[in-house]
Amino acid sequence: MIRLLSRPWIGVFALLVFTHQSSHAQLADAGEDGYEEMKLFTRVLETIREQYVDPEKASYEKLINSALQGMLADLDPHCQFMQPTVFDQLKQNTDSTYQGIGITVSSKNERLTVITVREDGPAARAGLLPGDHILKVNDTLTEDVGLSEAINMLRGKPGEQLKLTVRRPATGELIEMEMVREVIIQSSVKDIMMLDEGYTGPHKIGYARILQFSAPTAKELADGLDKLEQEGMEAFILDLRNNPGGLLRSAIDVCGEFVPAGTVVLTTEGKPGSPSPPKIYRTSARNKRRDRDYPVVALLNHSSASASEVVAGALQDLKRCIVVGTTSFGKGSVQTILPIEGSDGKAIRLTTAKYYTPNHITIHENGVEPNIRVTLNPAEEKALMTWFRRDELSPDTRKRAEKFIDPQVERASDALKGVLVYSSRNKPAVAETTADEE
């Protein structure tokens, strides 16, 4: 033991021993004792240092950083060891704009997977679709780098070119795409309108899409609902497809448009036995304008994540909406950024809690299950993305895009029409009173 502690990595071992000692009681309670594993770690570390053929790749900093990256990445796709440059980018407040190609990605089944594609961004114009696997960024294989490094490679300055090689699982295609990074303005609520009679028949069914949850989302949605109500809206479709999430407070406020003030719509719970109690989120009366009690459908797909799952899961549990589409992504966890003292700006992002719907159903890794399942084939997925970005197309192409019949919207409309017909037939009769009656 004296020989081991005389090694240069004494600081690392001392840190591990200190960590072990400070949490020994908890580990013992859980039936764990990590002392032997800590000794194994330090032995392997020194063996690599002594025998690896390329010494420049086996510095203490490189080895420890790699170990930390693997340690965090193995927990779940959302945990991350962050170098100072990544941490600095995360801390930057970009308000309503960001620079890039307009996609969100995550590691799914050990593949770098496109979760959402902004229809007004360079990636959408190049033909990238949600669900595509990114195999290469320029000439670098994504399987050779971690998630955080791959995201850094996707970012860049406006005007810089980028080449992606992707595999489309739905068709097996291998596709190369080129695009130019740009400044992207993040819009929130879009396509506020009454649906065409081809979907609704004699009924007036409103529709709006939330692209992401940002600070003004709830107000924009409330303004849109006011407008549609003035036009005689009887029911409403809230489209959350391809919505990657955003601000949790904004999602709670959106729920508040459809349920009474003070309603519990979400709880977050940490590790069992954690001293931090569950956090309860209720809707607020602060910005609520009126009760909106008409029937609602929420549309979900495999790219609906995080805050969009919170909204759909809460309204579904509270019997306030019917969910139509496919199972959502399953990102229902809370990440805390923990700076590492004395590390020159390094930090870890750690999953510290999970989201639970009002019925105490966890969203994480499960997603929200639709009440009515409606899937789209690859051709319909592509046509839907074209319809989303129809405003950017040439007049002729836009006319073709607008002819798309969306099977999920069609099924949602059918469900709402059924609810409206049933409700009208079961309304209690109102007795008329004449002036002679008391």
pLDDT of 57-74, one tens digit each?
999 988 998 899 889 888
Is 331 an active-site residue?
yes
**Residue 260: which CATH number?**
3.90.226.10
Give the pLDDT score at 344.
79
Residue 115 and residue 212 in one domain: no
Beta bridge partners, 173, equal 168
137 and 14 belong to one structural domain? no
Spatial separation of the C-alpha atoms in residues 383 and 405, rounded to whole Å: 9
Does residue 236 sit in the same domain as residue 381? yes
3-class secondary structure, 215: coil
Same domain, 133 and 228: no
Strand ranges inside 234-332, DSSP E: 235-239, 264-269, 279-282, 296-300, 322-325
pLDDT at residue 88 above 70? no
Based on the domain organization, do 253 and 152 belong to the same domain? no
Name the catalytic one among 132, 303, 331, 417.
331
Indicate whether 286 and 379 sit together in one domain: yes
For residues 211 and 317, membership in a common domain is answered with: yes
The phi, psi pair for 165, rounded to 5°, reads -115, 120
- 209 with 124, same domain: the answer is no
Among 155, 185, 215, identify where a domain stops: 185
Phi, psi dihedrals of residue 6, rounded to the nearest 5°: -85, -5
Measure the CA–CA gap between 198 and 182, rounded to whole angstroms.
38
Among 282, 274, 333, which Cα is nearest to 307's?
333
DSSP H helices in 136-272: 147-154, 197-200, 217-230, 248-256
Among 120, 132, 317, 406, which one carries the catalytic annotation? 317
DSSP state of 179: E
| 246 and 327, same domain (yes or no) | yes
Please indicate, yes or no, if residue 92 is contained in any of the structural domains: no
Residues 58 and 174 in one domain: no
* Same domain (yes/no): 379, 306: yes
- Provide the number of structural domains found in the chain: 3
Confidence of residue 147 (pLDDT cuts 50, 70, 90): confident
Catalytic residue among 106, 148, 214, 306: 306
Domain hosting 117: range is 97-185
pLDDT at 252: 97
219 and 171 fall within a common domain: no
Asked about 317 being catalytic, the answer comes back as yes
Task: List, for residues 352-402, the tens digit of each pLDDT value.
Answer: 899 999 999 999 989 999 999 999 998 999 999 999 989 888 888 899 999
Q: Is residue 434 part of a domain?
A: no
Record the pTM: 0.77
